[in-house]
Structure 1
Amino acid sequence: MTILVVTGTGTEIGKTIVTAAVAAANAGRRVAVLKPAQTGLAPGEPGDAAEVARLAGDHVTAVELARFPEPLAPATAARRSGLPPVRPDDVADAARKLATEHDLVLVEGAGGLLVRFDDEGSTLADAARLLAAPVLVVVAAGLGTLNTAALTSEALRSRGLECRGVVVGSMPAEPDLAARCNLTDLPVVTGAPLLGAVPAGAGALEPAAFRARARGWLTAELGGDR
């Protein structure tokens, strides 16, 4: 596993924190995190890639390809800003270059798998296809996640892409019935293994505590010890 694409079933479900957990769990390796398109931040503000590096440690190289100030889908944000959009070729080229210098490259998308990068309809899935890279899907914990997880895995299969597995991005300390049952049902509806569950609020931990606990949230497939 040299390049791993990280996507989600939506926004605000813990994709960046899961990416940080994977990076932290691989502390013995040279890790790069690549954010193709960062939206909703002004120049100079720390973005998702920087947050991964802050939480995971000094072994992480953070790279951001494009930044757009409005909190919108990358294609819309690029068009409204007048800035050039990021293209799948740009993402693939950057990831391949990082892979020559790092043991693991994590490519973190914006929003879900089919959020558009540009007005031609290019998506993170197109970048994953160019890279022939597996995709890790971050999902919500509770009611409704089975449908969105199944749709995302179906979209991956229809494009010939491998779903490496599923991680719950924000698991409540006291999960309700739906969240508990979903841990069993997610592998069934996605056809991919459950590779971990990151606890809600993990991103608020001090970096040292985050790094110490990250392996316990993930399976060995992602560098963890669950």
Structure 2
Amino acid sequence: MRDTAVLVITGTGTEVGKTVTTAAVAAAAVAAGRSVAVLKPAQTGVGPDERGDADEAARLAGGVTTLELARFPEPLAPGTAARRAGLAPVRPAQVAEAAAKLATEHDLVLVEGAGGLLVRFDEAGGTLADAARLLDAPVLVVASAGLGTLNTTELTALALRERGLGLAGVVIGSWPDSPDLACRCNLADLPVVSGAPLLGALAAGAGSLAPADFRAAAPSWLAPPLYGTWDADAFTAAEAP
């Protein structure tokens, strides 16, 4: 967000476009002249020499600092992956400390979680929500476009509010080329169930664009609070069933 130093980015689940959304926000902020860091607290499911989510965000966005606190080989929740690998888990206080340090050196720090908001980092039940609370940072929710997204988005919004956390808004992580009826109706319903504004809709396949094309297009997918030019009202009206 334009008036915050740290923005926590979570998804309503896995494979909803969280990393590409993180990259898009980073690219739009860089284009607006901001210095940006992307923090990935726990990367799971990749080997020591493979590219992680923070690396992918940097490849697409360009010109950003990246930091990964821990990496676990199995594609599981971070706490489970750490336990099975016999490695120390990442704890919310570590995430908050790293983000706060990056914020002293950058205009914007994007903290990308793993999976959803309440995925566990450690055996004590620490989550991304706990890190956001320690940082007193707003949370951006990335949601899917189609059937089922209203329930998962509302549950995520409820969990945030129960913890006293600010919900910055919702971004649709992948808007299909040929949206069905549910997708088109969800544009109007997502702000209602979340109680927060719709702040963007990324084009399907955005992550497969060449980096230069991605950077040029990113602001058109995001609303002004995320350094973009996307207009939620106009988009919703154009797609209305």
Q: TM-score, normalised by structure 2?
A: 0.93
Equivalent position to 2:35, from 30, 38, 41:
30
- Please list, as runs of the form range in 1=range in 2, the aligned pairs for 1:33-48 lying within 5 A after superposition: 33-48=38-53
Partner of 2:146: 142
Give the CA deviation at 1:162.
0.4
Amino acid aligned to 1:15 = K
Give the CA deviation at 1:44.
1.5
Report the Cα distance in structure 2 between the residues aligned to 1:32 and 1:175, rounded to whole angstroms: 33
Partner of 1:13: 16
Report the Cα distance in structure 1 between the residues aligned to 2:124 and 2:97, rounded to whole angstroms: 19
Give the CA deviation at 1:120.
0.8
Give the CA deviation at 1:209.
0.1
Give the CA deviation at 1:6.
0.1
SS of the equivalent of 2:218 reads helix
- Please list, as runs of the form range in 1=range in 2, the aligned pairs for 1:75-224 lying within 5 A after superposition: 75-224=79-228
Give the CA deviation at 1:62.
0.8
Give the CA deviation at 1:114.
0.2
SS of the equivalent of 1:26 reads helix
Which string of whole-angstrom CA distances, capped at 9 and with x for unpartnered residues, describes residues 7-55 of structure 1?
Answer: 0000011000000000000111110000000000010111000100000
Give the CA deviation at 1:99.
0.1
Report the Cα distance in structure 2 between the residues aligned to 1:57 and 1:111, rounded to whole angstroms: 24
Count of aligned positions: 225
Which string of whole-angstrom CA distances, capped at 9 and with x for unpartnered residues, describes residues 105-125 of structure 1?
Answer: 000000000000011110000
- Please list, as runs of the form range in 1=range in 2, the aligned pairs for 1:63-78 lying within 5 A after superposition: 63-78=67-82
Partner of 2:235: none
Cα RMSD, aligned residues only: 0.4
Report the Cα distance in structure 2 between the residues aligned to 1:116 and 1:203, rounded to whole angstroms: 27
Amino acid aligned to 2:221 = W
SS of the equivalent of 1:195 reads strand
SS of the equivalent of 2:199 reads strand
Amino acid aligned to 1:9 = T
Report the Cα distance in structure 1 between the residues aligned to 2:133 and 2:98, rounded to whole angstroms: 14
SS of the equivalent of 1:6 reads strand
> Would you identify which runs of 4 or more consecutive aligned residues in structure 1 move more than 2 Å?
none
2:58 maps to 1:53: yes
Amino acid aligned to 1:8 = G
Amino acid aligned to 2:18 = K
Identity of aligned residues (%): 73
Please list every run of 5 or more consecutive structure 1 residues that lacks an aligned counterpart in the other structure: none
